[in-house]
Amino acid sequence: CFITETPQHALNMASNSDKNIKKGEMRDLEGIPIAMKDLFCTKNVKTTAASKILENFVPFYESTVSQQLWESGSVMLGKSNLDEFAMGSANTTSFFGNVKNPIKGKNNSDLVPGGSSGGSAAAVAAGLCLAATGSDTGGSIRQPASFCGIVGMKPTYGRCSRFGMVAFASSLDQAGTLTRDVDDSAIMLEKMCGYDKKDSTSSKREVPKFSEYHKLSLNGKKIGIPKEYLVDGLNPEIKKCWENVSEEFKKIGVEIVDISLPHTKYSLPTYYIIAPAEASANLARYDGVRFGYRDEKAKTIDELYEISRSEGFGAEVKRRIMIGTYVLSAGYYDAYYIKALKVRRLILNDFIKAFETCDLILTPTTPNVSFLIGEKQDDPLEMYLNDVLTVPASLAGLPAISVPAGNNRDELPFGLQIISSHFNESLVFKAAKFIEDLKK
């Protein structure tokens, strides 16, 4: 689960917490042991993004999100594993090796924890920490949460500062939480959000006390069921659970309404143009000169770039850089990149329209449960299909949570996803808590 363990930090922070507790000056997360996804820069602690190119990178500054968590009293156990540069859905692209899901498959087989925040999700599910940070660009918090049977929350784009988060796709990247339950998620998220002058896309909106979501009522609220999320290959057990949970909502006075998000089918191709395009620009900075891995054999500057990048990046990251530079290149820019931006707007418009008739949207998080390590490895498209139900909310910048809702016949967990309009996280928590309580 961990790329770097930080026991000395943990002990120092914990003894500081002990002092505060003795003095009766407890902060909200005093002494809470957490894992920090190794995508958040931590001052003087190695931050690798699970890439060889950053294998020995030690930042000299702290990300805003991690800073806020430390200031709230939480204790860092270490930096958790992820897919390289957060590109992946199974945690198998990490330079440091894949993470195993603590939940075993048939005959004790090893399953993927999902990705890219797989180390964080597995650590929480295994009880190695109380909570963990994640980042979600197209589903990287929600999908691993679903596969590991825990809660994963991605807030509205702009709620958390991206300062000090290793950039993948800047118009999509958003920090969030992986926790054992909904309450923990609300308490933790509250501490991570807020305007930061170091990130011009962070929101100036006031951050409500998410932990007080209990005060809201679902009575009379409307929950939309988008027919387009009934995708080919949706596991029938997940489908059944989705229907059952809708029925349960009706019993507490929620109105279930059918809605349509007609551009959903374009979400995946749109995402896999925009995210690689932004990634190819963001990853240009790893040139072997300024920081990160540098090839020592190179004789010319061109060779230095070429060899450092060829040796430093893994196959999936290279694939994204190539797709990204292709869709941004002269001659293809309008046909791919600009077109994708236009479709992205249509996807957002679908949601805006839907939220005129409902307050929340309920969907499955993933079409299926976790799979064997190594499966889908040779077929990137098959891997990308994991994201089909999480990517639309990312493209629209909407808050979305995955909450454990059931298990399949092999006892493998899966989540349901709740999406709201922008900045409506508290209502998302309220509905998620209702689903969580159904299992009790």
Do β-strands 75-80 and 2-5 pair in parallel, antiparallel, or remain unpaired? antiparallel
Tell me if residue 37 is catalytic: yes
DSSP three-state, residue 347: helix
* Locus of tokens 């860092």: 76
Q: How far is the CB of 434 from ligand GLN (least distance, A)?
A: 26
Nearer to ligand GLN, 82 or 186 (CB): 82
When asked if residue 366 is in the footprint of ligand GLN (CB under 6 A), the reply is no
**Residue from 396, 399, 400, 395 nearest 416 by CA:** 400
Name the strands in the sheet holding 400-407, side by side, starting at the edge strand that comes first in the sequence: 2-5, 75-80, 33-37, 131-136, 174-179, 151-154, 400-407, 413-420, 360-364, 222-226, 255-259
The contacts of residue 291 (CB under 8 Å, 6+ apart) are 54, 57
- Residue 364 is encoded by which pair of tokens? 């499955």
- Residue 352 tokens read as 């805006």
Q: Does residue 116 bind ligand GLN (CB under 6 A)? A: yes
Task: State which residue, 317 or 362, has the beta carbon closest to ligand GLN.
Answer: 317
**3-state SS assignment for residue 78:** strand
Burial label for 73, CB within 10 Å (0-12, 13-18, 19+), is buried
Q: Find the part of the chain contacting ligand GLN (CB under 6 A) among 132-140, 145-153, 292-300, 354-362.
A: 132-140
Catalytic residue among 17, 37, 120, 420: 37
Among 38, 184, 387, 425, binds ligand GLN (CB under 6 A): 387
Among 34, 35, 86, 111, binds ligand GLN (CB under 6 A): 86
User: Per-residue x/- mask for ligand GLN, residues 161 to 190, rule CB under 6 A?
Assistant: -------x----------------------
38 binds ligand GLN (CB under 6 A): no
Q: Of the candidates 59, 78, 138, 397, which one interacts with ligand GLN according to CB under 6 A?
A: 138
Per CB under 6 A, the segment of 48-56, 135-143, 252-260, 369-377 that binds ligand GLN is 135-143
Which among 140, 202, 211, 426 is annotated as catalytic?
Answer: 140
> If binding is defined by CB under 6 A, does position 102 make contact with ligand GLN?
no
Q: Which of 51, 74, 94, 116 is catalytic?
A: 116
Could you tell me which stretch among 86-94, 183-191, 292-300, 342-350 binds ligand GLN (CB under 6 A)?
Answer: 86-94
Q: Is residue 140 a contact point for ligand GLN (CB under 6 A)? A: yes
Stretch that binds ligand GLN, among 85-93, 191-199, 236-244, 345-353 (CB under 6 A): 85-93
Q: Does 415 bind ligand GLN (CB under 6 A)?
A: no
324 binds ligand GLN (CB under 6 A): no
Strand partners, 5: 78
The yes or no reply on residue 275 touching ligand GLN (CB under 6 A) is yes
Indicate if 146 belongs to the active site.
no
The CA dihedral of 373, 376, 377, 379, to the nearest 10 degrees, is 180
Q: Least distance to ligand GLN from the beta carbon of 414, Å?
A: 17
Q: CB of 317: closest distance to ligand GLN in angstroms?
A: 10
Q: Which two structure tokens, joined as six digits, stand for 393? A: 């909310």
DSSP state of 422: T
Q: Tell me how far apart the alpha carbons of residues 59 and 287 are, in angstroms, rounded to a whole number.
A: 17
Q: Is 50 near ligand GLN (CB under 6 A)?
A: no
Omega prior to 426 cis, within 30 of 0: no
Nearest to 127 by CA among 109, 152, 102: 102
Per residue in 235-245, is it b (16+ CB within 10 Å) or e — as a string?
bebbeebbeeb
CB of 145 to ligand GLN, least distance (A): 12
282 part of the interface to ligand GLN, by CB under 6 A: no
Active site residues: 37, 116, 140
Binding residues for ligand GLN, rule: CB under 6 A, are: 86-89, 116, 136-140, 168, 275, 387
